[in-house]
Structure 1
Amino acid sequence: MSQTPTFINIQRVVQHRIRPDTLWDFEQAWHPDPYPEGLPRAYAYWSQDGQEITGVSR
């Protein structure tokens, strides 16, 4: 009898309100070079005013 593989899809969603003059620091932390092992994807979505960021990573 064969077993069906189990896939685990874990995602992390975080939301941040960015303080004035800190966007560059946040972007550097969110997009490290190189990405840590085990982090295949990371996305960031900004609010229209650029003050809130929702990050999704897997």
Structure 2
Amino acid sequence: MKKFSTQILALAVSLAATVGTVALAQTATPPLELAKDAPDRYLVVKGDTLWDISG
């Protein structure tokens, strides 16, 4: 009987952790907005780095 209650306790703890994680993941965050002067397209040329492009 002790083994059964230990399994139920482990299941309850796992379920609580899962529910808590889902609740944190679904917190409301405002959508990202592009800069007003962001181009629609960018042509990558030799020598460009991601740092240069993102800046």
- Structure with bigger gyration radius: 2
Which has a greater percent of strand?
A: 1
TM-score (norm 2): 0.25
Which has a greater percent of helix?
A: 2
Higher relative contact order (CA 8 A, sep 6+): 1
